[in-house]
Structure 1
Amino acid sequence: MPSAIPEEMLAAQVTEFKKPYKIHNVPTPGKDLYEHDLLVKVAVASLCHTDGMVTDGIMGTKLPCIASHEGAGTVVKVGSAVKDFQVGDRILCCLTYHRCGECADCTGPERDRQYCSKVGGYNGVTRDGSFAEYEVVDGRESWILPDNVSFQSAAPLACAGITVWGGLVRADLKAGMSLAIIGGGGGLGHLGVQFAKALGLVCIAVDARDEGLQLARDCGADVVIDARQSKEQVVEEVKKWTGGQGADATLNVSDHETAAALGAAVTKMHGLLVQIAQPPNVSIPFAEFVFRDVRVHGSLVASKNECRKMLNLVSEHNIKVQTNVFNGLKEIPKAVELAHSGKMKGKPVIIIDDEAIADEKKSGLKMV
């Protein structure tokens, strides 16, 4: 029997830009639930690079706003028009809220539908998100978790996972082709490595941290290259493993000022660089994409149906999300400190619903 929904809940809000989160009690949402929405009891939420952009005021966020757009939890209430979910379902909390369903993106190719220009908002970015005990999400954008995917693994997939998956969708590679990942040992990169291997790609991970290089190895990268050597050396190493051509496609998930240029340099002539990282400026020497015809494609996240494919891949291939666990919303400052230290391996996650985690352990399933 589900417990009663309280009048108030604990949450971490952005109340001032460039200031720490305010962790305090706020009213619980969902009393007047929109017909297509779900009220979710958040089990786990994760910290993302974009959260720092929100707190810096870069994303146009109206304050106060509950942070985090990476969450997973249990449905406790459904809107009147919801048919695909019921109370008790374990779900991935979606980022997108209320696409219009009518614009060129919403009615266009599946791979572009998340770009709706008339969207109602983005959880944890322009509206309240997952750093709270309860969250309202759009049931038309959310997805039920496979039975063997834990809340702890799922939360980072809500953005980090679907973001790097969206880059792979745009790379459009076939099994046996080569993929380089700049930042291959980071929060997004280590997922990209595992996704690439599950899809049968030859994966070349490039990173500039000892922790990142080791994580990329642990995740099964075919080749791991230290970006702290010269660009020319990195390019030669990539060519050595790709028949002298360079990678068929490259994902750049590093926001270092030289990362995009390196990504273009390691990509073969006529190949594709997918730019995922969001530095203030993306700088690539003209010779890379003019003289070598390297195409550059920006990529944000991916659609609901691509999310389903990603979750199925995680479930079927036992993909592991490297997490750094913090217990309770009051430990968020520690998670932020770790994320800024440069020593983190993987993703910081916050356990919010201890009971939901205990229930997973009792299930007897081998969780990923």
Structure 2
Amino acid sequence: MADPSLDIPSEMLAVQVVKYNEPLAIHKIPTPTVSKLGPHDLLLRTAVASLCHTDLMVHAGIFPTPLPLTMSHEGTGVVSARGDAVKDFQIGDRVLSGLPFHQCGKCEQCNPTDGQDWNQYCQAAEGATGIKSDGAFAEYHVVDARASCKIPDNVSFVTAAPLACAGVTVYRAILVSGVKEGGWLALVGAGGGLGHFGIQFAKAKGINVIAIEAREEGLEVAKKAGAEHLLDAREGKDKIVEKVQALTNGKGVEATVNVSDHSSTAALSAAITRMHGTVVQAAQPQEVSVPFVDIVLRDITIKGTMLGGRDVTQEMLDVVSKHGVTAETQVFYGLEEVPKMIELSESGRLKGKAVCVVDKKVAGMA
């Protein structure tokens, strides 16, 4: 159903991958048809969408992505239409787009035991917003209401958009780490799009954070995010291990969250973690390499993590709202600017997240 007062155009502007590793197409395509929405679907008029490292992987053909595909899995918007089975969203609601799309509802991931946060791991889902199904770099986009959340009134669309993937990924990583209030957690890649959220989330939970970065831009962002213990990875692994142990009575941190895909960071993460501790790997390099000494002789557990289910996402949004968590962004206006966002991200000069305001009016910035 749609609000008859809303004039939904038949065509919309979108940014699409049409060939892997080739220039993006910024062109008009048909707007998703309201009559063809699934029972649990939401049609969102896009407000803000941001760029994630995974978008670069989609563009490079690393995922089995059907083409053409509209990019961006970090979207926000307001509800323009909804499927007949949607009960908890109304026309005009402010929404953080869910990434999982049409999960099967039958597998162990969709029906986990003991309250596990596994819904996002469904292998039989029909799509994944901006990865296997069309995403948010468009004037309108379709999401699954069962994976999406309402944005708190005091959280802007610009802050919310990067939370759809970067934010919830690092939030879940902190939960998976098992570090409690008063404990010690390290963040490797702390000045990036995920890391600067991680600093703020960990501090909101009363966790002592050691932030580790190797880029000048990243060190600046991490400091701005509130890192009290900030280390420059360019000093080398041995020096970083020494400094981390000095801060933690010679033990090392209880857990490390690695959000950097540099080839050296998994080994660094293990080295600074105390015996029997945990490395939570959220970054996505082609291979993760760690010396056997850390895994076998020091009993370091390496635990993967991906996204977070709807309940964890809503919990994260509540933390953002309560603690004033903010996104470090470089803002671009209009879908035509997306190639510049990608260029900046690939250059290594990006500070925080590259965010596209798709519609100033919808985003409340007109």
Q: Same fold (TM over 0.5)?
A: yes
Q: Scaled by the length of structure 2, what TM-score is found?
A: 0.97
Give the conservation status (yes or no) of the 8 Å contact 1:33–1:79.
yes
Deviations 1:132-185 (A, max 9, x none): 000010011110000011111111000000111121121122100011011001
Match of 1:364 in 2: none
Q: Match for 1:145 among 113, 136, 151?
A: 151
Match of 2:22 in 1: 19
Aligned equivalents of 1:18 and 1:118: distance in 2? 27
Matched residue of 1:111: which SS?
Answer: coil
Match of 2:189 in 1: 183
Give the conservation status (yes or no) of the 8 Å contact 1:70–1:93.
yes
Tell me the amino acid that sits aligned with residue 253 of structure 1: V
Match of 1:334 in 2: 340
Q: Match for 1:63 among 64, 67, 85?
A: 67
Q: Match for 2:290 among 276, 284, 290?
A: 284
Once the two structures are TM-superposed, the CA of residue 243 in structure 1 deviates from its matched residue by 1.1
> 5+ unaligned residues in a row in structure 1: which ranges?
362-368
Give the conservation status (yes or no) of the 8 Å contact 1:105–1:112.
yes
Alignment RMSD (CA, Å)? 1.1
Give the conservation status (yes or no) of the 8 Å contact 2:46–2:362.
no
Q: Match for 2:102 among 83, 87, 98?
A: 98
Aligned equivalents of 1:219 and 1:77: distance in 2? 37
Match of 1:366 in 2: none
Match of 1:78 in 2: 82
Give the conservation status (yes or no) of the 8 Å contact 1:183–1:253.
yes
Q: Match for 2:265 among 259, 267, 279?
A: 259
**Counterparts of 1:1-368 in structure 2 under 5 Å?**
2-31=5-34, 32-108=36-112, 109-358=115-364
Tell me the amino acid that sits aligned with residue 107 of structure 1: N
Q: 1:110 to 1:30 in 2, by over 3 A?
A: farther
Aligned equivalents of 2:161 and 2:33: distance in 1? 21
Which 4+ stretches in 1 moved above 6 angstroms?
none
Aligned equivalents of 2:364 and 2:298: distance in 1? 54
Aligned equivalents of 2:90 and 2:194: distance in 1? 31
Once the two structures are TM-superposed, the CA of residue 215 in structure 1 deviates from its matched residue by 1.2
Q: Scaled by the length of structure 1, what TM-score is found?
A: 0.96
Matched residue of 1:12: which SS?
Answer: strand
Once the two structures are TM-superposed, the CA of residue 118 in structure 1 deviates from its matched residue by 1.2
Once the two structures are TM-superposed, the CA of residue 222 in structure 1 deviates from its matched residue by 2.3
> 5+ unaligned residues in a row in structure 2: which ranges?
none
Tell me the amino acid that sits aligned with residue 302 of structure 2: V
Tell me the amino acid that sits aligned with residue 268 of structure 1: R
Give the conservation status (yes or no) of the 8 Å contact 2:32–2:142.
yes
Once the two structures are TM-superposed, the CA of residue 3 in structure 1 deviates from its matched residue by 3.3
Once the two structures are TM-superposed, the CA of residue 358 in structure 1 deviates from its matched residue by 2.8
Matched residue of 1:228: which SS?
Answer: helix
Taking every aligned residue pair, what percent have the same amino acid on both sides? 50
Give the conservation status (yes or no) of the 8 Å contact 1:30–1:136.
no
Deviations 1:31-55 (A, max 9, x none): 3111110000010000010001101
Tell me the amino acid that sits aligned with residue 212 of structure 1: G
Deviations 1:213-253 (A, max 9, x none): 12111111121000001211000111111111101100000
Tell me the amino acid that sits aligned with residue 38 of structure 1: L
Matched residue of 2:14: which SS?
Answer: strand
Aligned equivalents of 1:91 and 1:6: distance in 2? 20
Tell me the amino acid that sits aligned with residue 6 of structure 2: S
Once the two structures are TM-superposed, the CA of residue 335 in structure 1 deviates from its matched residue by 0.8
Aligned equivalents of 2:254 and 2:104: distance in 1? 36
Aligned equivalents of 1:358 and 1:83: distance in 2? 25
Aligned equivalents of 1:102 and 1:177: distance in 2? 38
